[in-house]
Structure 1
């Protein structure tokens, strides 16, 4: 019994090849088939993304370059964007960026629309802060609220005349004219759903949009893309890739990958090409209390080892003990 503990089942290396074939079937303009691929670590999600991009490059490279269209590949982190750039062949039709850079590129220059968005949002924020201040007690929280009230009041006055806005995806963005990281996502989500012209611009420029690390992508942004797919299903194909158990940042859509989405084709990659059988089995045991997703190890994978270290919380030399 002990020998079989966490020993995952195995499958042939090509067990998930049908997934890549299914994704290719979706990658036809007018197919109305956007898709979602959620799978565990080591399943080859990035490989599937590369296969899809290579397929689209073969199909559309010349035409897209001539017409100024691009294939958007959106990630959450700079590291993920760099990894994708390293894996794909350079082509002018690929636009690889973080979600913040993508959203800013879409709304940059719409200064009057951004100003009006703030003029509608700030009074609501001030009312909310004022209500909390009336109900709250004196102290550090009250001091923070009053600083926010003063800052927002000053910004509202600053917005009385036309302004130009700036944003640095990798910066602090502390000036009056700078958009915060959070506001860039909120403004993009609002514009994409409330301004038909924005949706038209996006699908005309990006007939294919891939969102990697979508478990971390802001839920308002994901919701906006859901609405875009529903409204423009004959003009755009959107592919979401991710893993609920690899969520690092807050603010994502909590049910993404757990429930079926109307109008979206789900794909499940069940393999773990990276880990030994016991590592895969341990992961399956952990996931059994979450989304229940089960992985298989490769045929021929080693059994591997799982070791537990139970130490008092106040032990200072944990690394030394683990090394022993």
Structure 2
């Protein structure tokens, strides 16, 4: 198949490109050209997707069997792309987010659950609604927290920063909120399994790890990945309502239960995770955190110190 990936040179796109090329597909990337292609020989079309005129000029003459829209955040990002290829493509795969779900007393989140109209990810839900009405053959992927080497969001690295330097790990509340991490390689494999799967047309799939973990448990798992005894890690709990952080981020995850049911994807896509939490964290620590030299970088712990100073 000839496949277009919007993005393709950062995190999810890097892994997806490699998976698709290994499967024998011809992959074309559309991005601004700020980063090298992840696989030699992959075609890269440079442009700004937010410029609808430019998008049409660059892509209207191209033909693809499938499109992966990895980086559309708002409907205005994706609609011009759909308008170009509607009726001309066999499958349009959109990367949404489990962040669209409305906070619920009943967990885990399932694909049919209510969405939060005020979520910061509401643009993704608006895009899903548009895809449903557009007539294009679509599938939407809703990851929870994504981790792994080349992660540009400070998730696992936030914990590594503190653990490798023998610092206390400040965790809001009692550390018993439950969350979920999914390795980016597992996400890429699941996305590829959507292709040539008629069952996946018009469906939404949660994708993440197959087990859940508390904030405390995540910190201890990171310690294990780093090679330290979990018993040696000092977890410090605090009440976030006692602090005025403003827009500063004292902790890398939303302070609520946040995890999703992935059984639909496992069943309909015939997909299973390769990485459990520990093996995935070890992969990220060894192949990204240490490899990049971040363990020797200067890290700003001023917020930590503010918290620790008041406990």
Question: Which TM-score band applies after superposition, normalised by the shorter structure?
Answer: 0.3 to 0.5
* Structure richer in strand, relative to its length: 2
The TM-score normalised by the length of structure 1 is 0.34
Greater RCO structure (CA 8 Å; 6+ sep): 1
Q: Which has the higher helix share?
A: 1
TM superposition score normalised by structure 2: 0.35
